[in-house]
Amino acid sequence: MATLLWLQTGACSGDTMSLLCADSPSIENLVRKGSIEILWHPSLSASTTGGLGEIIAAIEAGRQSLDILCIEGSLITGPYGTGMFDSYRGRAKIHIVEALARHAGYVLAVGTCSAFGGIPAAPPNPTDCTGLQWDHDRPGGLLAPEWRSRTGLPVINLAGCPTHPATITRSLAMIAHALPMELDALNRPRLFYGTMVHQGCTRNEYHEYNVEETQPGGRGCMYFNLGCQGPGTLATCNSELWNGRSSKTRVGVPCFGCTSPGFPKDGDLFRTDKIGAVPVKLPLGVSRGHYMAYKNLAGAAAPQRVKDREMEP
Ligand code: SF4
């Protein structure tokens, strides 16, 4: 059984809400079947917040082993590097996180805030937020790039705003059962960050034939005008639906690229940034030189049923 401590830093609790929604497996199942023992979770522990102090002290003194440390939220280093904008019992949370990380077998950054800085670290970043081991796309956040946990791993980044429920609980299950976990260049598990949001999107045929919406609410693709970042964002959102039912693009909201270190972009999330008539960010791996020629040809070849938006998204 793996012991787990979940600490919130500069967080909105979105990843906790996501955790509570997980059903394959659910966190209850992981606990009931003896895979995980929760030492502390702000929404699941029965004891008051005072109990957390005793657990932290026991871990630091070596009286309690800590297998998995989950951090939810951006790491607040302000004001002036003290971290005291976010403290527990007079101690900056960033110092508590550093101390616990020294004892943990695995450290998981749950959510893009703790992975890369996320929304609190967006310009102008008034509280000097950073990610646990990354600051946006630069290695090194609260912890140095070369930092490693007790088992020799970097911080495992379960990015997302929030992280997909199944990504959280399956990662916990894999760690608890000592299954191998391959990480990508941003230290995200490849198993959950190996497909694009674009893959499995029901608007794909519209995308292929260059049938692009200019206003929200239509059935066409949202890439060219409405800011959709699905073709450049690695996540399972359309290959494994949220709550088994839906995804942003299925309900007409563009993908905001929330699993990427550049999230949130510094601008209108519902508008595609362009150089001239061509989006700044092309689908991953696509050559800029050939892109417009391909789009124009595809548009000319579009079947009438697609142009008429007869296909349900
Ligand atoms: S709406 Fe987004 S994810 Fe869906 S097909 Fe268009 S670009 Fe891809």
State in Å: Cα 135 to ligand 1 middle: 28
How far apart CA 73 and CA 124 sit, in angstroms, is: 17
Note whether 37 and 170 are same-domain residues: yes
Q: Probe ligand 1: pick from 195, 197, 198, max atoms within 8 Å of CB?
A: 198
Ligand 1 atom closest to Cα of residue 197: 3
State in Å: Cα 69 to ligand 1 middle: 35
Domain finish residue from 176, 208, 224: 176
- pLDDT at position 277, please? 82
Q: Probe ligand 1: pick from 236, 255, 282, max atoms within 8 Å of CB?
A: 255
Please give the structure tokens belonging to residue 109. Answer: 């950054």
Check whether 146 has a pLDDT greater than 90. Answer: yes
Q: How many independent structural domains does the chain possess?
A: 2
Note whether 163 and 207 are same-domain residues: no
Domain membership of residue 156 (yes or no) is: yes
The CATH number for 280's domain is 4.10.480.10
Ligand 1 atom closest to Cα of residue 198: 3
Q: Give the pLDDT band of residue 40 (cuts 50, 70, 90).
A: very high
Ligand 1 atom closest to Cα of residue 255: 2
Note whether 138 and 25 are same-domain residues: yes
DSSP string covering 119-182, please? GGGSTT-TT-EE-SSEETTEE-SSS-TT---TTS---EEE--TT--HHHHHHHHHHHHTT----
Domain finish residue from 148, 176, 204: 176
- pLDDT at position 291, please? 83
Check whether 311 has a pLDDT greater than 90. Answer: no
What integer is the mean pLDDT of 277-301?
86
Note whether 166 and 46 are same-domain residues: yes
**DSSP E strands, 1-125:** 2-8, 36-40, 68-72, 75-76, 87-88, 91-92, 106-110
Domain membership of residue 186 (yes or no) is: no
Note whether 25 and 112 are same-domain residues: yes
Domain membership of residue 188 (yes or no) is: no
Note whether 12 and 155 are same-domain residues: yes
Note whether 53 and 101 are same-domain residues: yes
Q: Which domain holds residue 75?
A: 2-176
Domain membership of residue 185 (yes or no) is: no
Domain membership of residue 35 (yes or no) is: yes
Note whether 128 and 255 are same-domain residues: no
Note whether 56 and 163 are same-domain residues: yes
Note whether 119 and 60 are same-domain residues: yes
Residue 165: closest CA among 54, 240, 215, 222:
240
Q: Give the pLDDT band of residue 287 (cuts 50, 70, 90).
A: confident
Note whether 59 and 127 are same-domain residues: yes
Look over the chain and give the mean of its residue pLDDT values, rounded to a whole number: 95
Q: Probe ligand 1: pick from 196, 249, 258, 272, max atoms within 8 Å of CB?
A: 249
| pTM of model > 0.85 | yes
Give the residue, by CA position, lying nearest to ligand 1 atom 6. 221
For 181-210, what is each residue's pLDDT tens digit?
999 999 999 999 999 999 999 999 999 999
Note whether 79 and 22 are same-domain residues: yes
Look at residue 278 and give its three-state secondary structure: strand
